[in-house]
Chain A
């Protein structure tokens, strides 16, 4: 045996003894000085072998000894210079991994004391002087010579959990450097330094392992701190990898070496933080090809399972797949999978609209990245999935889903057929469709990921600047004359308009003169409202004509004109029975049936509203019905603006009671409510040859549910309300598991109407069972329904129920 190791051990033990027993400053400092020789760096170093021996075997023990001896009066035996030179230097200059472990262990085990404060201040200095990079470098260095796995494991834990430990220990007195928002950025800069040293040593031809750094990165990301660490790390790496291929290799290795269980967190972080697909490609390399787990995350999880990421992230991700020939097969694979999801009718029905939007965006971006030959070789497949997907999207009742289907189908078809006609749908453009369409073009022009707060700020500025612009234009325009409203400037019609209702019927049924026909349509509603007596004579005929009327030539707002006229007829004379019976009869188009529903709803609304002395006032716009055109006219608007302006300029000293009495009159809907309601609800489950509410025609079913809800709502304070509520609850119960979310929305609003319109005593006494059943169904919907609107409606209903019950309890019967 070599005697020297024994000797080093002897010296160390002696020194520890002196430290713990002696009360003599000089003796202590001498002992410390002796040990210091083993650390090296001073002029009288111990031989190399002894130094290695010391650091490997005795250093930790010695440090522990130092810490355990620490007490206020002990430390005062040394002068402050000596403290710094002898005591502190062991921690700041010794092997960083051991120092770190000893420090953290003692912090964890110690109670609040002077000693703890001292150790913490040493730890702070340790962090500030780049201790972490020394630590990681140390481990990386050892790893090349196969270090101890358990030791590394503990070290890793301590490094990542340092903020937690210190926070637990110090509570309110924590130092800022240990806050996660400060510590992890610091860690990131230290990581960069280690990587710098690794790259230097690689350039010198030395071997180095990076896996400990990867582990640190992975574990930090996993612990939910990827925002803090990648905020610093990604931009630095982006700069460093720009020109240097060794740095690129290091970066690739860094991500590749992250253990599988943490790779998801790291990859997600990189995808979100990278400012563009090219950067992402530089940082990740061909990771998705090499690592199965990463591949799964990128191609499945981020695209098909999650849908909360911004569009820019999608662009990064898919652009990354498209950038390298090795990865392009994945792009095509991803596209096929996306199309499969997009085209699956079950997904369209059951997944939230937001997810469908996300998938659609992904498809559009994929398409924009595909090249001609790739499309050609997959053309047939694309076509098939497009046809399938288009069908189930167009079947949907939600306009947004239909539009998504149209846009994606249009874009696919335009890519498949380069020459010749491609699909073209008619839909109104809004922000969403414009965004989707822009995605088709932005393949090469990558949008950078901007931080959200910045983005908002920018937008605010923009709004402000346009506002000031418009103001400036207002004040400094050349001619300061303000134009009047010129919307009335329409083309002049030279046609005589009919004056009698019978003439109108004649024109509408027989005339081939389109101008006359158009003029008639425009004047019909006012004629009907003015001549109620004549209308009564011909009401049935008129209703029939109007219901079967088709748009022979293009008239602006034809549908609305016809609907208004029908409503006017319905109000003037009870043709309700006719309309309700026609709803379930043969030989009507779905469109006509839905018109019947709309007319009934509008008529019910108008009837139920009190009208002072029979005057027909313009309809209020905030009604809950499905109005397509708000009926306010400009003079009303103008009056409102003037009133508001007067109000704002007038100071009122005392505000008296408002004197405006609400218009009152008998509710005309009361006697008719039953006629509106029951014929509609009776036959919904009896399919006709051309009309099957429970089958394919779920759009009409949805409208029916909404209309019933509206009728119920307007039937408040009527005698029939309780009976109506009961049968409507049964209707809801029968259809509660309908697959179409539009129908479910209708049912939920029907429940709301019931809760609002049916007197609460009736509801709770006569329909207790139904009430309770509905409540449990609502709770279920509120939690599990895939559609956001449905969930919200269900919550509202539950709240309404809660309030009802509360009110009932507070009034003892």
Chain B
């Protein structure tokens, strides 16, 4: 008899708009508290203190247009945010400031998120969507993975600007993808009802490795946890699904939200047992879950007690 799925550890309310993107920053030292950035459809970026579970700061810089990508750089002092006003803003958050220091205009009017790669200390590369790009992601250093609205995933070599491999893995637009650079395989979700895992071989070719059929169509976001053990998907069917990353074994259905889940994100806590999963939804709520983060020893203990005599 399988255990019933857990309930959320806590829920963050008060964005009063659909939550489109989430980003954790938990790597700070002791006096610093873990932070969750959330971007909502009313153009506000909330900075949540995960200790008090209250909003710390609210950033308004996208003119009321929805924010669909946020990412912190340089610790917690700098923040990049992308909104549907075709602006990507760089925020200065150090010492209580909250001002936009720089912004870039993008040509893209779609819903594609940008992606960021730390090349060296203080040096970042950002891929931002052009006219028809969709959901880019970096693989190893000079490579870029991008998902397109025609359902294909393309691997770009950035140094030469050449297409290395192209994989038509979906019938519908690719909504999101994530890549595991250790195992050289990635996962993509689209608005249809399959989740596809593909791998990158030695010749830099993309190949479909496995597909998983879902009960309901539509994956808004996928995220692989930093320890490469589990994968979370945000479903249009209000549910968060957890899979084992190794074999794509379905592990859990987290059923809390009452509307489409837009985004999922794993926290980067330094201690594995504190790692959290956050999901933002159309129902204005952000649910925080603690799942599969016992160490393996504890897990074996619990198995021991389950054994029938």
Contact = CB atoms under 8 A, between A and B. Distances in A.
Contacts of B216: 491-492
A488 interface: yes
Interface residues of A, number: 24
Contacts of B250: 483, 486
B252 to A, nearest CB: 4
A513 interface: no
A554 interface: no
B3 to A, nearest CB: 5
A645 B3 CA distance: 14
A484 B251 contact: yes
Nearest to A642: B3
A458 B136 CA distance: 59
A480 B2 CA distance: 14
A475 B292 CA distance: 17
Interface in A465-485: 471, 474-475, 478-485
Interface stretch (A152-160, A278-286, A604-612, A631-639): A631-639
A368 B272 CA distance: 64
Contacts of A482: 2-3, 251, 299, 303
A469 to B, nearest CB: 14
Contacts of B1: 485, 634, 637-638, 641
B253 A489 contact: yes
A474 B305 CA distance: 13
A754 B237 CA distance: 54
B215 A479 contact: no
B233 to A, nearest CB: 12
B238 A492 contact: yes
Interface string A42-75: 0000000000000000000000000000000000
B255 to A, nearest CB: 6
Interface string B205-239: 00000000001100000000000011000000111
B130 interface: no
A496 interface: no
Contacts of A637: 1
Nearest to B235: A492
B212 to A, nearest CB: 12
A478 B299 contact: no
Contact of B249 (A475, A483, A492, A649): A483
Contacts of A483: 2, 249-252
Nearest to A475: B303
B123 interface: no
A87 to B, nearest CB: 67
A632 to B, nearest CB: 11
B183 interface: no
Contacts of B244: 479, 481
Interface in A618-658: 634-635, 637-638, 641, 645, 649
Contacts of A638: 1, 3-4
A484 B253 contact: yes
Given A489-B239, A490-B215, A479 B249 contact: yes
Given A484-B251, A484-B253, A486-B250, A471 B5 contact: no
A484 B5 contact: yes
A271 to B, nearest CB: 42
B97 interface: no
B247 interface: yes
B307 interface: yes
A637 B292 CA distance: 22
B296 interface: yes
Contact of B246 (A474, A478, A492, A635): A478
Contacts of A480: 296, 299-300
B110 interface: no
B6 interface: yes
Given A471-B307, A489-B215, A491-B216, A481 B238 contact: no
Contacts of B305: 645, 649
B241 to A, nearest CB: 8
A762 B238 CA distance: 62
Contacts of A475: 300, 303
Given A474-B303, A478-B246, A484 B229 contact: no
Enumerate the 8 nearest inter-chain pairs by beta-carbon distance, A residue then B residue, closest first.
A485-B2, A484-B252, A484-B5, A492-B237, A479-B244, A483-B251, A489-B253, A492-B216
7 contacts: A474-B307, A481-B229, A482-B299, A486-B5, A486-B253, A492-B216, A638-B4
